[in-house]
Amino acid sequence: MTVHHLNQLLLACSLVLLVAVAAVRISSRSGLPSLLVYLGIGIAMGQDGIGGIQFDNAELTQVIGYASLVVILAEGGLGTKWKEIKPALPAASSLALVGVAVSVGVTATAAHYLIDLEWRQALIVGAVVSSTDAAAVFSVLRKVPLPPRVTGTLEAESGFNDAPVVILVISFSTAGPIEHWYSLLGVIAMELAIGAAIGLAVGFLGAYGLRHVALPASGLYPIAVMAIAVTAYAAGALAHGSGFLAVYLAAMVLGNQKLPHWPATRGFADGLGWIAQIGMFVLLGLLVTPHDLLDDIWPALAIGLVLTMVARPLSVVTALLPFRRPWQEQALMSWAGLRGAVPIILATIPMVYDVAESRRIFNIVFILVVVYTLVQGPTLPWLARKLHLDTSATEAADLGIESAPLERLRGHLLSVSIPEGSKMHGVEINELRLPGGAAVTLVVRDGKSFVPLPTTVLHRGDELLVVATDPVRDQAERRLRAVGQGGKLADWLGTGGNGAS
């Protein structure tokens, strides 16, 4: 590649990114899932579109897809709140294991008998489409205010179920139906255990290092966090464990450790996540050949209908049977089993292994994802309201708190933003009852800053600077969040945050 070729590549990539960014605004206003817009851009650039680019490298698509999925899982893990996901872990694990098994069996049976696929190909299709997509779930659920238990379960499921599904797809693509199912279950259990152990270890070690080492520039923290998350993936994969589970768990640990300059880190990770999604979907759009899809439209619709209306609900009901979840939650989780880039990426695995009819499998999965994402994504908020699971009217907004270490002073400077909906509005400074060693030193309101008095009343939109010593830093942040959720009556509401009385 010459410098001239590099200039052309940079121009093309920057234009694609700009078009994709503009398309996000259009899709958000129209309710059209952004992934479909990105796929459309890739198709338009492909051999049947105006770009005329000839691209059929399934192996390169799979490699770039895996790399993108690592970034997307890391970004999703960083935004996952432990307090929401902790109660949902058993249910999410059941969905990721038992639910996937049920979904694979039902969908594969439908693919075998409805569209006459051989059992090997039918099992591959069943496994490929049984994984919910982390990018689609994270992006949709964070726009739909649902009860924390539902959101935690769905987010954890999408983070967990990639690992067993990847193992199943590779097993079916290399050997076909497995004679000894217990050996496959043993491999899945071993890889999940290794991935979980490495992910947790890397996450906690990385968080410990970042909390105790003051880096010379705030911009280094986001880079370090993402590097730690990617390290977890690579270490897990090289140790013959599940790298996908490792990166998600490591990122989740990092995201719940109150690291310095956290809003900047979240913004950086969010940007990388968008780039990964755009690049992945555009590349997948390039790989597809639209005129080859026509013969597989009806088979894809039939399998998708069975998956959406039978396999997914049955897997949810079966997996959640021990947890006695209300039928409204089960109905919503059945409809929220969103597919996206992950099934399309997994559909490249049989192409790489030269499985018979692998191109047909890819086409079926591509059509299924496009059609049913177009149906499920925009209708999820409506269904949440109909099932009375929309919590937008009752949930108080959480505070935005950024921490910067003051190494020489052995303290921390907390930057606190009071958003709309926070119950800190109307609370006086002295009613915050911060622990000894913590104090509000400055308030910024309407662009003007002033040193507050104990009787100063806080308003929505205020930004506070709170100085806290090392021993009380976590206690002060818990107290601030408690007041944000419960107001001045936080102690009596059971959310006191261990503040000083």
- Residues 6+ away with beta carbon under 8 Å from 428: 454, 455, 456, 457, 458, 488
What the block records as the tokens of 134 is 């982390």
What's residue 500's pLDDT? 40
Q: Note the pLDDT of residue 131.
A: 83
Contacts of 87 by beta carbon, 8 Å cutoff, 6+ apart: 149, 152
Longest Cα separation, the chain: 76
Query: Number of C-alpha atoms within 13 angstroms, CB side, residue 452?
Result: 24
Supply the mean pLDDT for the chain. 83
Burial 381-404 (b: 16+ CB within 10 A, else e): bebbeebebbeeeeeeeebbbbbe
Parts of the chain with a pLDDT under 50: 393-394, 493-495, 498-501
pLDDT tens digits, one per residue of 228-284: 999 999 999 999 888 888 999 999 999 988 788 787 888 899 889 888 888 888 888
Identify the CA nearest to 315 among candidates 113, 164, 120, 176.
164
Angle formed at CA 421 by CA 419 and CA 426, multiple of 5 degrees: 85
Fold classification of 400-489 (topology level): Alpha-Beta Plaits (3.30.70)
Q: What is the pLDDT of residue 226?
A: 94
Q: What are phi and psi of 213, to 5 degrees?
A: -120, 120
Nearest CA among 354, 358, 367, 376 for reference residue 284: 367
213: Cβ–Cβ under 8 A, 6 or more apart, which residues?
none
Predicted pLDDT of residue 228: 95
Fill in the DSSP letter of residue 96. I
Looking at domain 34-386, does it have CATH number 1.10.1040.10? no
Q: pTM for the full model?
A: 0.74
pLDDT of residue 501: 34
Please give the Cα distance from 375 to 309 (Å, whole number): 13
Domain residue limits, the chain: 34-386, 400-489
> What is the per-residue pLDDT for 493?
46
Comparing CA positions, the residue from 331, 264, 342, 303 lying closest to residue 68 is: 342
* E-only strand ranges, 40-187: none
Identify the pLDDT of residue 499: 42
For the chain, first and last CA: distance in Å? 67
Strand partners, 81: none
- Counting Cα atoms < 13 Å in the Cβ hemisphere of 118 gives 11
- pLDDT, residue 494, reads 46
